Structure 1
């Protein structure tokens, strides 16, 4: 992607300008970010997705001022009538199930893939919404069908109501108000309060960006570091031949604390162990994701990643779907191109080594990638 190219998606800003001026700083309203936008998912298709096992969906209703929340899957009869006001169906991760939605998300890859999370579709009847709230992540709200009125504000009081099953602000103070029509888009940084109400039937696409908390990230990395901390041969055990008799047995020996500290230091000191753990964590598929074994075919036709595959890299590794591989030289350049472009042409594959072709073939066999006959 040319980050210096002005984008209608960003209201004429370049990706570089947007990231510098707005990302995690202030909202941006873009009229006709995608002019003439035609939703790739019909209402009936969204309802069908909400009925599937393995698809995260929620139904939010406001009935006589009382909020109700239910989790899917939902068959069609479990959903309210279309004419009934004040209800919203939220379907998470639609990009994992629809190629056109996945392609739409690719327009937002001026942000690192390590942050790009998923695309949620919200269907609402007239008056539907989920109440005034804030998110802990960045989000682009793209209006796909109908109209939605958004009220937004920099919220200082983040106290939530305790009497309802939703994370709704107790005291919401709006500063700006917009009505979005199909193709319009609103970007909101984290913790920016917002409340969206459907004006008639509407659908909104939410492109969200994950932001792991420091404690969550530490926990995930420590688990992966522990898996790599095994020692060859006999394990090194704590030894205390010089331990004196104690009159206070409840006290933890300082030598044992030193031993534990050394164990952690040795685990972190292993070459590239932290880098490998981070890359594997960032590319780990969501629990609901599974891959169907594919047909290998003739890869010299070209190859493309499955829409559910997550692929990234650092200076020494290639990561895909929670697995890591050391990579260098020409093959590393090729694999990085696959991670960036999500496809390789027949001409590009001619430069791959036998080992790289064998690896790509195994990914096709696992369903992580597919032979793509649409290349040169």
Structure 2
């Protein structure tokens, strides 16, 4: 199980959400000084190092061996590695730390004015003096939260796939970087960077920790490719083009406009069902990214098992490595998507489905759990490892 958060989620201080979305989101960077009312660094450096040594955790070590030269080492790392790093500036990166540490997962909460399906994960970095990963740009939005120490961020121009890169097998680093803005972040400061904007962070002193809250945006190419593959699986070999009855060509070598219209209709018609797209997208966007965080019980759980304690209610916790989302279908009906699975929920189960998506942990009373739809839903989610009794 993930370690539990011991404090309330950090709260943004006097943050103008509407103004941010209107003026900055996916448009331009924004520096927010002393962004939190109650900032406290959620993870100690030695805890981060411990995560990097675990096989179920994705981690990387980036060392700058010379000006403009970086080396990448993938985890899991041996604990002795940290004593061998020498004087070269280095950065430790731990991906999806929110899947393993409750206090880190709580860092997502202040940013839920963006829909959950857009959230990727929280990456945590620790850097020695001068450490960084080099100038680069990302294809996603990111809030860079300074946790410990100080980091200098340089902001450059907007980039795309034509931007020249350094020759490196593992790191996509910009060959050219022109600084447009530069800031030094202190603990509790936030720097928002939109997709495509070049940036470069460098630690000032040791004990520099940064939390990167990333938001994914599927590309048009990925969506078209994945949905087309899904549609292909549903098409039969006998679903073929047919000629109209009066199909006598004026010129045998011509592909007529009528034929093109019919052929085009075959393709666009197969992709035009919006309800089918909605069902597919919910499963696609919630597909399990990392199966190394497995909460499935060894023995099958029943509703009676959950209610046997006699407490009158049961506390349930979401697996943080699993994505949850829903689509409203009607007044008392929702389509719930969890880890790539789809559930049609009605009545009480529809209300519970929305609660599951809203809260990382929640209580269900025995009376609610006795509803057949709720019972079937909750028991299945627990046995798949998507929920767990707390």
> Fold-level match, TM-score > 0.5?
yes
Task: Work out which of the residue numbers 98, 102, 123 in structure 2 matches 1:120.
Answer: 123
- Please say if residues 238 and 256 of structure 1, whose CA atoms lie closer than 8 Å, have aligned partners that are also in contact: no
Aligned to 1:303: 316
* Structure 1 unaligned regions, length at least 5: 1-6
Task: Work out which of the residue numbers 133, 137, 146 in structure 1 matches 2:136.
Answer: 133
Task: Work out which of the residue numbers 359, 365, 373 in structure 2 matches 1:341.
Answer: 359
How far is 1:339 from its partner? 0.9
How far is 1:210 from its partner? 0.5
How far is 1:8 from its partner? 8.5
- Please say if residues 84 and 125 of structure 1, whose CA atoms lie closer than 8 Å, have aligned partners that are also in contact: no
Answering whether residue 194 of structure 2 is matched by residue 189 of structure 1, we say: yes
For 2:258 and 2:367, the matched residues in 1 are separated by: 56
Aligned to 2:104: 101
Aligned to 1:4: none
Q: CA RMSD in A?
A: 3.3
Q: How many residues align?
A: 360
Indicate the SS of the match to 2:388. strand
Task: Work out which of the residue numbers 345, 348, 368 in structure 1 matches 2:386.
Answer: 368
* Structure 2 unaligned regions, length at least 5: 1-8, 308-312, 330-334
Moved more, 147-156 or 30-39: 30-39
Alignment of 1:205-354 (within 5 A): 205-227=211-233, 229-230=234-235, 236=238, 238=240, 264-265=267-268, 267-268=270-271, 272-294=275-297, 297-298=305-306, 300-316=313-329, 317-347=335-365, 350=368, 353-354=371-372
For 2:70 and 2:31, the matched residues in 1 are separated by: 29
For 2:199 and 2:151, the matched residues in 1 are separated by: 12
How far is 1:54 from its partner? 3.8
Task: Work out which of the residue numbers 70, 87, 92 in structure 1 matches 2:90.
Answer: 87
Evaluate the alpha carbon distance shift between residue 69 and residue 28 of structure 1 in structure 2; reply closer, same or farther with a 3 A threshold: same
How far is 1:140 from its partner? 0.6
Indicate the SS of the match to 1:327. strand
Indicate the SS of the match to 2:117. coil
Aligned to 1:37: 39
TM-score normalised per structure 1:
0.83
For 1:87 and 1:155, the matched residues in 2 are separated by: 26
How far is 1:284 from its partner? 0.5
How far is 1:328 from its partner? 3.7
TM-score normalised per structure 2:
0.80
For 1:286 and 1:8, the matched residues in 2 are separated by: 26
